[in-house]
Amino acid sequence: MKNLSRVIALVLFLIFLAFLAQAVNSLDIVINEIAWMGTEISYNDEWIELYNNSGSPINLEGWILKTADGTPKINLTGTVVAKSFYLLERTDDNTVLDIPADQIYTGALGNTGEKLELYDDSGNLIDSVDCSGGWFAGDNKTKQTMERKNPQLSGSDSSNWQTSQNPGGTPKAENSPGAKLKEGAEAKLLEEFTKAETKKGLATVSAQLPESSKSLFILLIALPIAIFSGIIILTIKRKIKDIDLSKKLE
């Protein structure tokens, strides 16, 4: 009897441990990267990457990843190791070359956006990415994917997503630092902003002056503002060139 009691106690203990291992919380598994635009080879080569935020492996049996319109709707299988990635490839295992898929699915993502939801085997919503109004990031022309910046923050916060640094993204690997502006783009944006603000300021003050004073005012104020703006833009351009040069020398 004692041996039987010990066996029963051991079985119950193992069942309890198995239950603890499967208990999950919101954001334990997240949608980490989305290639909604496909790849350079084919726009049909879409893929989705999940990430296990927790410190334990999580069994995905009974889990569902679906969009609000029902396409795709993926019944997940397999296990995601702690702090690791899970790759879902559309149609076949040739979607991402040289990286084997953890699961194959069918159904295309819309280029105008989707709302994705991840449910566990008890029907609890674990993560969601609401891009029903348009994808937060990614580039359909260059095939740069949409990457999550912080897996522990909300997936429906647009500021928590970025366009991948390179075409093809980072399947089953840490996400990139994000796409950067092309060389000289920073100075161009600042130049356009400075011109727009200068024009706006002149229009505001000019509207408050008598008609006879406007021409003289605009002449006296516009000249120094234009000179000052030009100095700022030239200074910034030189700093950008110095930074680019120092990076090349490293």
Per-residue pLDDT tens over the stretch 150-206: 999 999 999 999 999 999 999 999 999 998 755 454 555 555 655 665 566 556 655
> pTM higher than 0.85 for the full model?
no
Would you say residue 18 lies in a domain?
Answer: no
Cβ atoms of residues 140 and 111 within 8 Å: yes
Instruction: Tell me the C-alpha distance between 77 and 9, whole Å.
Output: 30
Q: Is the dihedral of CA 129, 133, 136, 139 positive or negative?
A: positive
Pairing mode, if any, of strands 161-167 and 79-80? unpaired
60, part of any domain: yes
Is residue 146 domain-shared with residue 38, that is, in the same domain?
yes
Average pLDDT of the residues in 122-148: 98
| Residue carrying structure tokens 């490293």 | 250
Residues 229 and 112 in one domain: no
Is residue 102 assigned to a domain? Answer: yes
Q: Domain range for residue 40?
A: 24-167
Q: Which of 167, 197, 226 is the last residue of a domain?
A: 167
Q: In CATH, what number is assigned to the domain containing residue 103?
A: 2.60.40.1260
- Number of domains within the chain: 2
Domain termination site, one of 167, 200, 218: 167
Q: How confident is the model at residue 24 (pLDDT cuts 50, 70, 90)?
A: confident
Same domain, yes or no: 120 and 231: no
